[in-house]
Amino acid sequence: MTDNTVLIAGGGIGGLAMALTLHQIGVPCQVYETVPDLRPLGVGINLQPNAVRELFDLGFSRADLDRIGLPAREWALLGLRGQEAYSEPRGEDAGYNWPQYSAHRGMLQIMLYDRVRRLLGPDAVVLGAKITGYSQTADAVTAHISHADGTVSTATGALLIGADGLHSALREQMYPDQPPIQWGGAVMWRGVTKARPIRTGASFVGLGTSRHRMVLYPISAPDADGMVDMNWIAEVTYDNSEGWRSVDWNRRVAHDEFVHHFEGWCFDWLDVPALLRGTEEVWEYPMIDRDPVPTWVDERVALIGDAAHVMYPTGSNGASQAIIDARVIGAKMLDYGVSPDALTAYDQDLCEKISALVLRNRGAGPFALLNLIDQRCGGEFDSIDEVVPPAERDELMAVYKRAAGFAIQSLNAAEPTIPPGAKVGERAPV
């Protein structure tokens, strides 16, 4: 490997976005992914306009994204009886210069993976290879790698990027005494069902109360029969005083284990129990995060994505932030070269701000409006304006968008994170 090769632990969304960014700016890299076979697993995610902008700047097209999802048009919260508490347009309908996409997570990962292999070569991602730790000198960092066949090896590069997720081995080495994973009491059941579109046909809908709710949104355009792949999350909050009760962080469950929580949730536009029972595979997850840490960087090693800031999915911006992390590191390399200084600058830009976002999401994120409604009327109302006035609702949402980095005016006015054609070494160092 060349002296400025960057090693990447993890071939998920953040790690692959990092590889494509490095290729764009002329920096060699090597990705190591634990699983021996990448398959399009998972359910739905949302890509906010700030992340879609970065994907476009990496050379992806609307047609590429349309193959894995569809542009979102609306975000809406509904009360227990299905009455509207808040709605707003999303993406280009809201005035952004870029769309917001609701997409299949696994298909997004495969799209990124295929592009990495096409641009960087078929050996750019080593599968069945887990980076278990690192050692470093003043001039280089060495990754320690465990392979699926039982062998071990090392690789040395200029920098190491930890995109190795919730159970990050690199974060564990940086913070051996870090607190355990935090579970706030919420349990999510997730699935995808063929269903009729609702509202705009491309709406993200939150329905219920802060402790007992459904989230649903389509992740495909309608098929020939007018049906979409409807991604849904059913959520109930329990007493968490005894901690997470299962040895698994995700497990497949039977419908009878959770559908009873939503019996009677039937509206003229949606039969929730029927939607839930119409799913072949249902997976249970605790809603978890980790306490923020003071820095994501240890000299030549940096964390990105869930390894740095796993957060509650209430803000629908976990994948988006992983992409942003990768792009900011690339931008800092343009300023500081392939060096620890670039990682320090990335850390200074994002660590404190995104750590605050982790805590904001823990406090319900944009679903905080449902908390207010619960407190003031128990989740049932005739006129939402009498419960939470329009100005108060609008300000709640505006505060979150500013914190998450996708306020319309500032995002639309922002210069590209990485200027077109920019390469490391072509500008004077900062």
Task: Give 114-136 pLDDT, tens digit per residue.
Answer: 999 999 999 999 999 999 999 99
Q: What is the spatial distance between Cα 384 and Cα 77, in angstroms, rounded to a whole number?
A: 11
Residue 242, pLDDT score = 63
- The H or E element that residue 246 is part of is none
Q: What is the spatial distance between Cα 356 and Cα 167, in angstroms, rounded to a whole number?
A: 21
Q: Contacts from 372-375 at CB under 8 Å and sequence distance 24+?
A: 372/396, 373/79, 373/85, 373/209, 373/210, 374/209, 374/210, 374/211
Task: Give 376-394 pLDDT, tens digit per residue.
Answer: 988 788 889 999 999 998 8
Order of strands across the sheet that contains 282-289: 84-89, 74-78, 203-209, 212-218, 228-237, 182-195, 282-289, 251-253
**pLDDT top residue among 87 and 370:** 87
Averaged pLDDT for residues 189-201 = 96
Averaged pLDDT for residues 276-297 = 94
Phi/psi-derived region of residue 59, left when phi > 0, alpha when psi is between -120 and 50, beta in every other case: left
Q: What is the spatial distance between Cα 238 and Cα 362, in angstroms, rounded to a whole number?
A: 15
Rg, C-alpha atoms of the chain: 22
Binned at pLDDT 50, 70 and 90, residue 403 comes out as low
Residue 1, pLDDT score = 46
**Which of 329, 392, 335, 403 lies closest to 365, judged by CA?**
403
Q: Which two tokens stand for residue 78?
A: 């509904």
Whether pLDDT at 74 is above 90: yes
What sign does the dihedral 247-249-251-254 (CA atoms) show?
A: positive
Averaged pLDDT for residues 169-174 = 98
What percent of the chain has pLDDT above 90?
73
Residue 43, pLDDT score = 87
144-182 in b/e form (b: 16+ CB < 10 A) is bbbbeeeeeeebbbbbbbbbbbeebbbbbbbbeeeeebb
In this structure, of 176-185, 221-230, 298-307, the range with the lowest mean pLDDT score is 176-185
Task: Give 297-316 pLDDT, tens digit per residue.
Answer: 999 999 999 999 998 776 66
- CB of 27 closer than 8 Å to CB of 337: no
CATH fold label, 6-44+104-180+291-364 = FAD/NAD(P)-binding domain (3.50.50)
Residue for token digits 């944009």? 366
Residue 380, pLDDT score = 82
- CB of 153 closer than 8 Å to CB of 147: yes
